[in-house]
Amino acid sequence: MAERFFSQTCTASEKEELAHWIAQQSKDSALREVLETAWEKHHADSFMTDAVSARILSTLFQHQHLPIVDEPQSKVIPLYSTRFWLRVAAVTAVILSIGLTSYLWSRRSAVNEVATVSQVKKTSPKDVAPGGNKAILTLSDGSTIVLDNAENGSLGQQGDVQIMKPASGELVYRAANTKADKVVFNTVTTPNGGQFQIELPDGTKVWLNAASSLRFPIAFPGNERRVSITGEVYFEVAKDTKKPFHVQTQDMDVTVLGTHFNIMAYPDEKSIRTTLLEGSVAVNQAGRAVTLIPGQQARLERDRASLNVVNGIDVDEEMAWKNGLFQFNDANLSDIMRQVARWYDVDVLYEGSIPSGHFTGKLSRNTNLSKMLQIFTLSDIRYRIEGKKLIIMK
């Protein structure tokens, strides 16, 4: 029956029967043997055919649950080759596509074995929901508006500027007069577990990641547009050749006329990264300046205070957060867990040393913490959740 699933000849009733059998199966070796036999019949030269591979990937993306794979060269265990991880993906696809998420392929020793989700839940009885659209608007007089609780419509007016929250949920500023007598600033701040979108009075669109802030004038008089940020922020700047757009962080200044770019400037990260998607930007730091073209990144290393240009950036990885994804490319666990801590608003603690290994893959950010962490059981990384604490156990 598993073989017929792979050959796409399995009926709906047979899928239900297969799901029931997997759920009731207590002997991991028997389950593994059946699924691996089916897999072996539908690959060529140790790799899946294009049709079967496409079907598996489609299934995984449909369920937004692509396993993060531990690269063999990062954590050497000879029995776990690329072929093994293809088998992992195949088995996971079978299970997910028939609606049964109670099994994950696990890596614990030199022998492949299947671990049930119920076994994982024994160490994590509680769960944490993913982040969402949450932010606080601080007006010039110090008063605040919780944007995620605010009703859609007009939120108020400051001078000639109308502040609105349309049905689409972002914050929008509409300025009737850009020649204000004095500059009035507002600030939008996202907490851990929050993100938000803003449209500035000049039409520039801004996305804030978790634990970030944007301070901006409610109108842009004069001959420039200047804002300041903390955390991680993506900009789509409205073009205005007469008014350059400046973004300030604690350590650098980015100047543009009209372009799409992302700045990551979290204080707990080793570097400040400005990634250009479209147009051109000039990055200035302590008298040094570099100009970027699309696909390049200006990287300021905090420990050396060195500003460098990096070519061939994986833009999809840099912009994954804005597109609702976690995406990693050869990332170590501590780097990943900093993102997890910000998005799920948890404190990450380690019992013993931080588990080694580097990880590659992606999955939806719109999933509970325990489900996101299941993928790390593929590398024998255990955890438990205690309220707002995530404890990683080696």
DSSP string over 100-142: --SEEEEE-SSSEEEEEHHHHHTT--S-----EE--EEE-TTS
Rounded to the nearest 5°, which phi and psi values hold at 100?
-110, 110
Q: What's the pLDDT score for residue 41?
A: 53
The β-bridge partners of 231 are: 265
- Locate tokens 């930007």: which residue? 281
Q: What's the pLDDT score for residue 380?
A: 81
Q: Count Cα neighbours of 188 within 13 Å in the Cβ-side half-sphere.
A: 29
Q: What share of the chain is helix, strand, coil (3-state, %, to 5)?
A: 25, 35, 40
Higher per-residue pLDDT: 1 or 279: 279
Q: Identify the sign of the CA torsion 358, 381, 388, 118.
A: positive
Look at 36-50, 167-181, 316-330 and tell me which has the smallest mean pLDDT: 36-50
Q: What's the pLDDT score for residue 151?
A: 92
By CB atoms closer than 10 A (0-12, 13-18, 19+), residue 256 is: buried
CB 188 within 8 A of CB 135: yes
Look at 115-124, 166-175, 223-232, 360-369 and tell me which has the smallest mean pLDDT: 115-124
Q: Count Cα neighbours of 102 within 13 Å in the Cβ-side half-sphere.
A: 12
Look at 1-10, 51-60, 147-156, 175-184 and tell me which has the smallest mean pLDDT: 51-60
Higher per-residue pLDDT: 108 or 292: 292
Q: If you ran DSSP here, which 8-state letter would residue 250 be given?
A: S
Q: What's the pLDDT score for residue 8?
A: 59
User: 40 Cβ partners below 8 Å, 6+ apart?
Assistant: none
Q: Which domains does the chain have, with CATH numbers?
A: 1-128+326-394 (3.55.50.30), 132-318 (2.60.120.1440)
Q: What's the pLDDT score for residue 274?
A: 97
Higher per-residue pLDDT: 276 or 79: 276
Q: Count Cα neighbours of 142 within 13 Å in the Cβ-side half-sphere.
A: 0
Q: What is the pLDDT of residues 256-291, one digit of tens each?
A: 989 999 999 999 999 999 999 999 999 999 888 999
Q: How confident is the model at residue 158 (pLDDT cuts 50, 70, 90)?
A: confident
Q: How confident is the model at residue 177 (pLDDT cuts 50, 70, 90)?
A: low
CB 231 within 8 A of CB 213: yes
Which pTM was predicted?
0.71
Nearest-Å Rg of the Cα atoms of the chain is 24
**Residue 244 above 70 pLDDT?**
yes
**Residue 366 above 70 pLDDT?**
yes
Q: What's the pLDDT score for residue 381?
A: 86
Q: What's the pLDDT score for residue 338?
A: 96
% pLDDT > 90, the chain: 50
Q: What's the pLDDT score for residue 159?
A: 80
**Residue 348 above 50 pLDDT?**
yes
Q: How confident is the model at residue 361 (pLDDT cuts 50, 70, 90)?
A: confident
The β-bridge partners of 188 are: 137, 214
133: its two tokens: 């659209």
Within its chain, how far is the Cα of 149 from the centroid? 24
The average pLDDT across 289-312 equals: 92
Look at 225-234, 254-263, 366-375 and tell me which has the smallest mean pLDDT: 366-375
- Locate tokens 């991991």: which residue? 28
Q: What's the pLDDT score for residue 376?
A: 82
CB 262 within 8 A of CB 232: yes
State how far the Cα of 15 lies from the Cα of 13, in Å rounded to an integer: 5
**Residue 374 above 50 pLDDT?**
yes
96: its two tokens: 């997910």
**CA-based nearest residue to 237, from 264, 260, 209:** 260
Which residue type is seen at 46?
S
State how far the Cα of 368 lies from the Cα of 371, in Å rounded to an integer: 5
**Residue 193 above 90 pLDDT?**
yes
For residue 49, count other CB atoms closer than 10 A to its CB: 12
State how far the Cα of 349 lies from the Cα of 352, in Å rounded to an integer: 9
The average pLDDT across 183-195 equals: 96
59: its two tokens: 């299934």
CB 144 within 8 A of CB 120: no
**Residue 330 above 60 pLDDT?**
yes
Please list, residue by residue across 225-244, b when 16 or more beta carbons sit within 10 angstroms of its beta carbon and e when fewer do.
bbbbbbbbbbbbbbebeebb
Q: Is 387 left (phi over 0), alpha (psi -120 to 50) or beta?
A: left
Average pLDDT over all residues of the chain: 77
Q: What's the pLDDT score for residue 206?
A: 98
CB 209 within 8 A of CB 325: no
Q: What is the pLDDT of residues 194-220, one digit of tens each?
A: 999 999 999 999 999 999 999 999 999
